[in-house]
Amino acid sequence: MGRNGDTLRPVLWLTRPPYLRWSLVGLLVIISLWVEIRPTSSVSHPYVSRDVARGESVEGVLEWRTVAGGVLEPVLGTGFADRDLTAGHPLLPGDTTDAPIAVPPGWWLLDVAVPAETTAGMSVQLVILPPSGERALPPIGGLVTSVRPGEYQSDGLVGSVAFPPDRAATAAVAIAEDRVSVLIEARRDRGG
């Protein structure tokens, strides 16, 4: 009983509904949906429409397709194929050169690890490291026709190098036995 003789009745105290929490959850759901379905930027990128041989111009054999922005590095879509390209291949920065590289007739191409500064068109000297006690062989001059990353990131660059026919077999054996060092000409600064 209460003070005045009233009987006590149980009182149910209701709290205010959690409108603020409901609003925050709803806002999070809306933001999540926007992130998932928002429009992405797209760009046109050139793809090779037919097989292109190394040295052939890529102009006129490209089709422009829409891809998501930032997926492929932008390229101009001009120049000459630096290597054989297959139909459907997206054109990448290392796939073309500004001018075709003229390899003398009869020269042979070999793949060899090259220094980081090597570019297509450079002349190189292949130094063959002799086994101990043997005389060193004279260096073999070659022409770099293309440069690409190695199969693994730690491999560095691999260059396709053209060698004269009378020295190509010697170069091939030395490359296979991993007894070579590749020299490139140092670039000179044009400034004073």
The Cα–Cα gap between 11 and 21 comes to 26
113 assigned to some structural domain: yes
Geometric angle at alpha carbon 80, from 76 and 81, rounded to 5°: 100
Is residue 67 situated within a structural domain?
yes
* Pair 68, 126 in one domain: no
Q: Which domain holds residue 149?
A: 108-184
27 in a structural domain: no
CATH of the domain at 65: 3.90.1210
Task: Determine, yes or no, domain membership for 18.
Answer: no
The more confidently predicted of residues 30 and 188 is: 30
Residue 147: what pLDDT?
78
Q: Cβ(162)–Cβ(181) under 8 Å?
A: no
155 in the same domain as 118: yes
User: Residue 145 above 60 pLDDT?
Assistant: yes
Q: In which band, very low, low, confident or very high, does the pLDDT at 192 lie, cut at 50, 70 and 90?
A: very low
Same domain, residue pair 134 and 80: no
71-130 pLDDT, tens digit each: 888 888 888 887 778 889 898 887 887 777 778 889 998 999 888 888 777 889 999 888
Distances in Å between the Cα of 156 and the Cα atoms of 87, 118, 148, 167, 175 are 27, 11, 9, 25, 16
- Asked whether residue 173 is assigned to any structural domain, the reply reads yes
- pLDDT tens digits, one per residue of 28-77: 999 999 888 887 788 899 999 988 877 778 888 899 998 888 888 888 88
Q: Clarify whether residues 87 and 123 are in a common domain.
A: no
Judgement on whether residues 114 and 177 belong to the same structural domain of the protein: yes
Question: Does some domain include residue 37?
Answer: no
By the 8 A CB rule, do 76 and 92 touch? no
Of 31, 62, 96, the residue at which a domain comes to its end is 96
Average pLDDT over residues 165-178: 90
Between strands 80-81 and 123-128, the pairing is unpaired
Checking if the pLDDT of 17 tops 90, the result is no
